[in-house]
Amino acid sequence: MKKSSVITLLTDFGLQDEYVGVMKGVILSINPRVQLVDITHNISRHDIGQAALALNASFRFFPKGSIHVVVVDPGVGGERKTVCLKQEGHVFIAPDNGVLTMVIQDKKVRKICAVTKQRYFLKPVSDTFHGRDIFAPVAAHLSKGLDMLSLGKELGLKDLATLEIPVPFVSAKHELVGAVMAIDRFGSLVTNISERTLKKFQDDEGSQRVELRLGRFKIKGVSQSYDSVKVGAPIAIIGSRNLLEIALNQGDARKYFKARIGQAVKVRFVARGK
């Protein structure tokens, strides 16, 4: 494997404790030349689905060859594997708990292996901090050119744990039905309805106007920008992830709609001339 100049970190550790800093210290002790980038450390505690979404939304914006370390790991110390895989020219190190589901969904994975060779770990290995003792040193060794297949047994896609990520569908009422996948720090509701899915359904229905429903609430139209509506008003918009989002202009949509992860979002298209 070629040397990498970038290692990214994505965790649910927050910044109150020393955990993130210690991981960086381990990496830099092994490879002081590597560049470390924090994607986020504010994933909700143990929220594997949110981490999967954040990882998939971010990794392609880094240089090919970057190494992405993901530590959202409620099963740390248990029977879950640690895995390393190569996809689209990027390398990922993560617990095998489904956090890589969205990365591997198009099945373009080049290599996958279990991470078991203890010579690349810190010793002793803590039962509660594999981010420090396994993921960080392994990433550092890979960044210096270690062949990932030196880490352990080669695996196939079928060997990886995956999450059940809901897929939008068309109901008997001709509504496009999706779900809230994540809620960001602004309180915006990120759905699983992509811009492409929305446009295809709109074309199929021969429609040009939309109405969204979230519980008892309705939103008319998909706007181009937040200031398309008054401050405090609800809005539907295609966000930076190319996913349909429901937000409140300068407000918190989670509180306004009393929304929750998994809640249904329904899109109804209004035919031309109505």
What are the structural domains, with CATH classification, of the chain?
6-159 (3.40.50.10790), 169-271 (2.40.30.90)
Task: Inform me whether the pLDDT recorded for 206 exceeds 80.
Answer: no
Q: Tell me, what's the pLDDT at 99? A: 97
d(CA 59, CA 67): 9
Stretch 74-88: mean pLDDT = 94
Q: What are phi and psi of 133, to 5 degrees?
A: -95, -20
DSSP annotation of 53: H
Task: Give the angle subtended at the CA of 78 by the CAs of 153 and 143, to the nearest 5°.
Answer: 45
Q: Tell me, what's the pLDDT at 31? A: 97
Higher pLDDT: 247 or 108? It is 247
Task: Inform me whether the pLDDT recorded for 14 exceeds 90.
Answer: yes
Over the stretch 140-174, which tens digit does the pLDDT of each residue have? Answer: 999 999 999 999 999 999 999 999 988 999 999 98
d(CA 20, CA 136): 10
Over the stretch 94-128, which tens digit does the pLDDT of each residue have? Answer: 999 999 999 998 878 889 999 999 999 999 999 99
Task: Inform me whether the pLDDT recorded for 272 exceeds 80.
Answer: no
- 205 falls in which pLDDT band (50, 70, 90)? low
Task: Inform me whether the pLDDT recorded for 11 exceeds 70.
Answer: yes
By percentage, how much of the chain surpasses pLDDT 70? 97
Whole-prediction pTM: 0.89
d(CA 147, CA 3): 10
